[in-house]
Amino acid sequence: MLSRSTLLHLRIPFSYFLLPVFLFALSVSPNLLASRIGWVFLILHFLLYPASNGYNSYFDKDEGSIGGLKNPPPVKRGLYWTALLLDGMAIVLGFVKISFLFSVMLLIYGLVSKAYSHPIIRLKKYPIAGWIITGLFQGAFTFLLCFAGMNNFQMESLLQDKVLFAGLLTSVMLWANYPMTQVYQHEEDARHGDQTLSMMLGIRGTFYFAGIFLALAAAGFIWFFKTYYDMKYAWSFLLWMSPVVAYFSYWFLKIMRDPKEANFRHTMWLNFISATCLIMFFVRFFLEVSHLG
């Protein structure tokens, strides 16, 4: 039976913040089969992501707040085996219910996520490499993983310009968000000997950096919708993202006056607002382009 500590460290609700990647892949998918879509959703959000969260929590052993968990309890050995079990279940179900390619991509994602915190590699301690690889795999790679799984496509179908650019856009969004998730963890990361990108940039520098990548993402989405769909979706995207920009600006003004405002509460609110706005937009976009709404 799962202990309370293990269950908390799986951080299943945290999958909500990664749901926009799945929905973006769904909204641009040409083949809609409910069972396949459902299995991809369940495997990612209830097996793969929790396995990654749990595995990294086991090796981090954080005492301060972490993403989705303000007061993490001490980790137990069962967390390690539970994470590996969930990973194995994801890979097996991916092969049985979806495809061999999907299963292999799940395996690759799992291995990269383990490298993030495992002491032998620990990508987390490399500010640039950790930032690039995390954004690439939680963004573009996961987008392609979802796209391949939902459509039953093989590798060659993932190499279309439209698909690759859409995947790149998800990574740009993650590259903007990733340093913001580190901005309140400088002391905790320093205790572990990790040099994160946010530590390297400083608190204010993290906001400037994230702002630049948010602007790049916005420009990229405008081009994407204008090129492949209709300009009205670009305007709609900007409208839905306005609360994110508003809260980001509000928080930035607060930390300009007091750097202590770079805390867990503000980080989680930014993540929640950003994820919710993207989810609402992609659901609406999906319903319109699929003619289901």
Per-residue pLDDT tens digits for 129-165: 999 999 999 999 999 999 999 998 888 889 999 999 9
The CATH code of the domain that includes 258 is 1.10.600
Q: Which residue has the tokens 């409208």?
A: 239
> What is the structure's pLDDT at 293?
60
What pLDDT shows up at residue 184?
87
The percentage of the chain sitting over the pLDDT mark of 90, rounded to a whole number, equals 76
Residues 228-264: tens digit of each pLDDT: 999 999 999 999 999 999 999 999 999 999 999 999 9
Number of domains present in the structure of the chain: 1
pLDDT of residue 100: 96
* pLDDT score of 274 more than 90: yes
The DSSP code sequence of 23-68 is HHHHHT-S---HHHHHHHHHHIIIIIHHHHHHHHHHHH--SS-BTT
CB atoms within 10 A of CB 211: 15
**Overall residue count recorded for the chain in this entry:** 293
Could you list the residue range(s) of the whole structural domain that residue 91 is in? 4-289
Interval 207-234 mean pLDDT:
97
Q: What are 155-177's pLDDT values in tens digits?
A: 888 999 999 999 999 999 999 99
Q: Mean pLDDT for the chain? A: 93
230 CB-near residues (< 8 Å, 6+ apart): none
